[in-house]
Amino acid sequence: MLLEFLRGIIFTGFPWMGFAETQVNGPFAPVAPILGGLACTFLMVWISWEIFRLKNTRVFSGICIALAITLSQLANVFTFTHPTSEPLTVRLIQGNFEQSLKFNPQAMQEQFAFYTNAITKQAADLIITPETAYPWPQSNLPAGLLHSIQQFSTATSSTVLLGLIGEVAQTTGVQYSNRALGFSPDRPQYQYDKSHLVPFGEFVPPGFRWFVDAFHVPLSDFARGKLDQAPFSIARPQQEIVNAAITICYEDVFGGELAARLRNSTQPVNLLINMTNLAWFGKSQAPEQQLRLSQLRSLETGLPALRATNTGITAVLGSKGEILAQLPQFTQDTLSAK
């Protein structure tokens, strides 16, 4: 259990494929909303130890096993969250652009056209694209592109969340960021900049610049967003405002950071949104693994979640981590749900 905790924080952390993920549909799932995923891990290790000791301590170990499972199931009676408004109509866009083409100048025009058309094709309470759907710095995008999305948002009362490359002014110049840009009918543009960056992908860890320079890799550090960024508000006529906590890429892997954001938020959060691009991993198990991690985050927080991905798995999750709807991997499609 200590090792599970430490691998989530050492060298910026990478708690991927933890023991707790196996309990999304397991007997210890009811414990996650109360004590978190690490408590599920503790129970799994403890029960495994007691099963190992059954030969020598049959009665005591049997009581421990029965008690742990019974108490876990009794936790089902506790409900910490409840619906606060009418359901949202959502559209999650899955572009399915190969990573080899993602930053190709010619292919970019196709991506701009596809996502702009997909966004403005039909109104919805909330429309979400994947991470870096527009893989280009915000100020250098084709003229009128963002304005057309804002016009659509205003005309249809749709809220749109778009992934692109942001720009942050620093004393040394402009620094890029991995950004989610929000469009609302009657509010200023919202922006969320990714805070938990990928080592060697979005920043160079301290002490390793020599390594990058030795291989002549053109890698610069992305700007790091603050951990306490405000949630994204989705307003609808005569409806209660829905506030969403956004994560980009693998940020939803870090349950402790997400929990801290929810605790410290000045506005009550009632929805989780993850925007990601897993085209990097090709036809591997990574998309299914991250989907399971997203399910665990919903289970822990008691909040529904929306996942908009480039190549999959785009999905709608319930407040207990259950999959309500999803798109097949490696298809270009839009998931409409409510």
Residues 148 and 171 in one domain: yes
Parent domain of 179? 90-337
Q: Say if residue 105 is in the same domain as residue 26.
A: no
pLDDT, one tens digit per residue, over 228-268 is 899 999 988 777 789 999 999 989 888 888 988 999 988 88
3-state helix, strand, coil in the chain (%, to 5): 40, 20, 40
Of 163-172, 254-263, 301-310, which has the strongest mean pLDDT?
A: 301-310
Tokens representing 112 are 């701009």
- Does residue 74 contact residue 220 with C-beta atoms inside 8 Å? no
Residues 294, 211 share a domain: yes
DSSP annotation string for 145-188: HHHHHHHHHHHHT-EEEEEEEEEEEETTEEEEEEEEEEE-SSSP
The pLDDT, as a whole number, for residue 8 is 61
- Residues 78-92: what's their mean pLDDT? 80
Most confident of 1-5, 90-94, 236-240: 90-94
Q: Both 127 and 244 in a single domain?
A: yes
Among 37, 56, 77, give the residue marking a domain's end.
77
Same domain, 144 and 73: no
**Separation CA 284–CA 278 (nearest Å):** 10
Structure tokens at 62: 């049997």
- 48-62, 208-222, 245-259 — which is least confidently predicted? 208-222
Let me know whether 44 and 139 are in one domain.
no
To which residue do tokens 């799994």 refer? 44
Q: What is the bridge-based pairing of β-strands 190-193 and 173-183?
A: antiparallel
**187 touches 181 (CB < 8 A):** no
Residue 83 located in a structural domain = no
**Cα 85 from chain centre:** 22
* 181, 67: one domain: no
Q: Which carries the bigger pLDDT value, residue 300 or residue 172? A: 300
On whether both 105 and 19 belong to a single domain, the answer is: no
Q: How many independent structural domains does the chain possess?
A: 2
Amino acid identity, residue 228?
D
- Sign of the C-alpha dihedral, residues 127, 132, 136, 139? positive
Residues 220 and 275 in one domain: yes
Q: What is the mean pLDDT of the chain?
A: 85
Rounded to a whole number, what is the distance in angstroms from the first to the last CA of the chain? 38
Q: Cα–Cα distance between 313 and 291 in angstroms, integer?
A: 7
User: In the listed set 49, 77, 105, which residue is the last one of a domain according to the structure?
Assistant: 77
pLDDT exceeds cutoff 90 at 216:
no
- Are 54 and 129 in a shared domain? no
Residue 226 belongs to a domain with what CATH number? 3.60.110.10
Which residues carry out catalysis? Answer: 131, 194, 249
- Burial of 106 per CB tally in 10 Å (0-12, 13-18, 19+): exposed
Residue bearing the bigger pLDDT, 32 or 316: 316
pTM over 0.85: yes
What percentage of the chain exceeds 90 in pLDDT? 41
Q: Categorise residue 312: left if φ over 0, alpha if ψ from -120 to 50, beta otherwise.
A: left
Instruction: Evaluate whether residue 82 is within a structural domain.
Output: no
Residues 276 and 145 in one domain: yes
Are 64 and 185 contained in the same domain?
A: no
